[in-house]
């Protein structure tokens, strides 16, 4: 496993489900990662947790991310992941959610670098594949200790280090700090994987080159544009029409069907994901280099929600940008039932006509979706 020169799909709870990872693979992604799995739950053989370790045959380079605070949990869980084809194991040191923090896992590990160092050392000794660590810049602003954590992790034998350029408390409120990511990359000899706010091929290229990181990782950018991987590889944008995007979403619905099965139970399970993904898809906007390169330096394009209310948008384009949850549910139903692309376009057009937003509705839905 070479951690240099790669574009990683970030570990994404809920978003990094197997059908979505396959969609990314179909659009140029080569390195996938699992959703975060709790080490102690995998050790207990929890069915839902074991399901997170499952790899598809198309995934040739697949990392499993674990949340753990004890080495024995992590090592046992890693064995189960390796049995299922994991190429490497990543330790989560960034997750900010209450349940994780309460159990002294995730971002809390940043607060005790010595303990983290011992944990990584034991993992490296007990796990047969490379061990990587994914961190944030620190717990809170003013408490950034990523440089120290990175050193400890390298000395403990980690094969690579992922750095999300924010603190635990910042969540997504601030732009990722690529200057801080660059400093860590300069201080370390293990590959550093830079992560945060990459939504276009040109900002990825610029941040990658300027920061000197070995690799980059895409989270929300991939959730919004699963074809971002190919754009980065080809150094050019693909600005799909609404019809082309519908075809891609149909392909995703088919992959969900294949995974969860085409019956009532499978439909119910898939519907926990499909409308959720449609919300991310609805954030897509074309961001051509001529217009946005300068702006991307000043403001993360990932936060961009412009042009929603352009009066001249074609009906289908407006539908696919619409942030209203009830519409994502209706569109998900259409995608699940659709026979072919032609039929889908017809039905989606009828839906767009039926659900034309009334004034103010779009802005309101956008605020509630964050
Ligand atoms: C829906 C969602 C789920 C996430 N789940 C995880 C996770 O399980 N493990 C993890 O280390 N980071 C997780 N993250 C953080 C991402 O991996 C990534 O570090 C972060 O989103 C910054 O990258 P981006 O700006 O490209 O989105 C998640 C992010 C999102 C949006």
pLDDT digits (tens, 9 = 90+) for 130-171: 999 999 999 998 999 999 999 999 999 999 999 999 998 887
Dist. CA 77–CA 6, nearest whole Å? 26
Tell me the whole-structure pTM to 2 decimals. 0.96
Contacts of 86 (CB under 8 A, 6+ apart): 34, 53, 55, 62, 63, 64, 78, 129
pLDDT for residue 27: 98
Residue nearest to atom 10 of ligand 1 (CA): 11
pLDDT digit string, tens, across residues 191-234? 999 999 999 999 999 999 999 999 999 999 999 999 999 999 99
pLDDT confidence band for 364 (50 / 70 / 90): low
Average pLDDT value for residue range 119-127: 98
Question: Does 33 have pLDDT greater than 60?
Answer: yes
The CB of 156 under 6 Å from ligand 1? The reply is: no
Dist. CA 88–CA 356, nearest whole Å? 47
Same domain, 17 and 88: yes
pLDDT for residue 25: 98
The residue to mutate among 10, 99, 197, having the most atoms of ligand 1 within 8 angstroms of its beta carbon, is 10
Q: How many domains does the chain have?
A: 2
Q: Which residue has the tokens 């994991």?
A: 86
Same domain, 274 and 186: no
On whether the CB atoms of residues 349 and 313 are closer than 8 A, the answer is no
Question: Does 267 have pLDDT greater than 50?
Answer: yes
Looking at the domain assignment, is residue 2 inside a domain?
Answer: no
Same domain, 228 and 248: no
Dist. CA 168–CA 152, nearest whole Å? 19
Looking at the domain assignment, is residue 79 inside a domain?
Answer: yes
Same domain, 74 and 189: yes
Dist. CA 216–CA 193, nearest whole Å? 5
Same domain, 229 and 256: no
Dist. CA 183–CA 202, nearest whole Å? 21
Question: Does 109 have pLDDT greater than 60?
Answer: yes
Angle formed at CA 177 by CA 175 and CA 180, multiple of 5 degrees: 175
Neighbouring CB atoms inside 10 A of 280's CB total: 20
Average pLDDT value for residue range 246-258: 98
The residue from 234, 253, 280 where one domain ends is 234
**Nearest CA among 97, 79, 99 for reference residue 89:** 79
The percent of residues in the chain predicted with pLDDT above 90, rounded, is: 86
Average pLDDT value for residue range 294-311: 74
From residue 293, give the alpha-carbon distance in Å to each of 208, 235, 240.
15, 13, 19
- 318 three-class SS: helix
Both structure tokens of 359: 């004034």
Dist. CA 45–CA 233, nearest whole Å? 39
Q: For the residues of 203-246, what is the DSSP string, one character each?
A: HHHHHHHHHT-SEEEESHHHHH-TTHHHHHHHTS-----HHHHH
Same domain, 185 and 324: no
Both structure tokens of 288: 């051509």
pLDDT for residue 281: 97
Rounded to the nearest angstrom, the distance between the alpha carbon of 186 and the centre of ligand 1 is 24
The residue from 210, 234, 258 where one domain ends is 234
What is the CATH number for 211? 3.20.20.70
pLDDT for residue 357: 74
The ligand 1 atom at the shortest distance from the C-alpha of residue 164 is 19
pLDDT for residue 362: 64
Rounded to the nearest angstrom, the distance between the alpha carbon of 263 and the centre of ligand 1 is 31
Same domain, 229 and 289: no
Both structure tokens of 257: 């069907």
On whether the CB atoms of residues 145 and 165 are closer than 8 A, the answer is no
Looking at the domain assignment, is residue 200 inside a domain?
Answer: yes
Residue 95 bears catalytic tag: yes
Dist. CA 36–CA 55, nearest whole Å? 14
Average pLDDT value for residue range 256-268: 98
pLDDT for residue 126: 98
The residue from 234, 255, 276 where one domain ends is 234
Dist. CA 242–CA 244, nearest whole Å? 5
Same domain, 278 and 167: no
Looking at the domain assignment, is residue 282 inside a domain?
Answer: yes
pLDDT confidence band for 370 (50 / 70 / 90): very low
Q: Domain of 303? A: 242-369
CA torsion through residues 261, 267, 268, 273, sign: positive
Same domain, 81 and 104: yes
Q: Which residue has the tokens 């919004």?
A: 224
Question: Does 356 have pLDDT greater than 90?
Answer: no
pLDDT for residue 305: 64
The CB of 90 under 6 Å from ligand 1? The reply is: no
Same domain, 53 and 179: yes
The CB of 182 under 6 Å from ligand 1? The reply is: no
**Nearest CA among 31, 30, 21, 27 for reference residue 54:** 21
Dist. CA 216–CA 213, nearest whole Å? 7
pLDDT for residue 309: 55
Same domain, 102 and 77: yes
Looking at the domain assignment, is residue 302 inside a domain?
Answer: yes
Looking at the domain assignment, is residue 46 inside a domain?
Answer: yes
Same domain, 248 and 363: yes
**Nearest CA among 141, 180, 175, 186 for reference residue 163:** 180
Dist. CA 235–CA 256, nearest whole Å? 30
37 versus 356: the higher-pLDDT residue is: 37
Dist. CA 55–CA 33, nearest whole Å? 9
Mean pLDDT rounded to a whole number for the chain: 94
């Amino acid at each position: 496993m070479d951690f240099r020169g790669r574009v990683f799909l970030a570990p994404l709870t809920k978003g990094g489900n197997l059908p979505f990872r396959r969609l990314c693979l179909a659009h140029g992604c080569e390195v996938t990662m699992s959703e975060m799995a709790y080490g102690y739950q995998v050790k207990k053989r929890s069915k839902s947790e074991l399901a997170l370790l499952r790899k598809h045959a198309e995934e040739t380079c697949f990392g499993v991310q674990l949340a753990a605070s004890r080495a024995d949990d992590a090592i046992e869980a890693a064995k189960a992941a390796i049995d299922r084809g994991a190429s490497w194991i990543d330790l989560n040191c960034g997750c900010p959610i209450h349940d994780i923090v309460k159990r002294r896992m995730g971002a809390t590990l940043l607060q005790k670098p010595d303990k983290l160092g011992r944990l990584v050392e034991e993992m490296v000794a007990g796990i047969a594949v490379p061990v990587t660590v994914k961190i944030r810049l620190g717990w809170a602003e003013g408490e950034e200790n990523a440089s120290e954590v990175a050193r400890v992790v390298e000395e403990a034998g980690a094969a690579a280090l992922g750095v999300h350029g924010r603190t635990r408390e910042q969540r997504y409120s601030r732009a990722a700090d690529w200057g801080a990511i660059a400093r860590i990359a300069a201080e370390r000899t293990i590959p550093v994987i830079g992560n945060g706010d990459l939504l276009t091929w040109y900002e990825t290229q610029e941040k990658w080159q300027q920061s000197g990181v070995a690799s980059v990782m895409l989270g929300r950018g991939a959730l919004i544009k699963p074809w971002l991987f190919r754009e980065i590889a080809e150094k050019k944008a693909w600005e799909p029409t609404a019809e082309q995007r519908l075809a891609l979403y149909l392909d995703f619905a088919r992959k969900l069907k294949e995974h969860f099965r085409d019956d009532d139970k499978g439909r119910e399970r898939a519907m926990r994901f499909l409308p959720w993904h449609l919300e991310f898809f609805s954030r897509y906007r074309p961001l051509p280099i001529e217009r946005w390169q300068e702006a991307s330096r000043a403001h993360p394009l990932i936060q961009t929600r412009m042009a929603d209310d352009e009066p001249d948008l074609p009906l289908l384009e407006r539908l696919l940008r619409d942030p209203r949850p009830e519409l994502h549910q209706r569109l998900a139903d259409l995608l699940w039932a659709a026979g072919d692309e032609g039929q889908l376009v017809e039905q989606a057009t009828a839906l767009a006509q039926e659900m034309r937003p009334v004034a103010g509705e779009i802005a309101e839905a956008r605020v509630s979706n964050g």
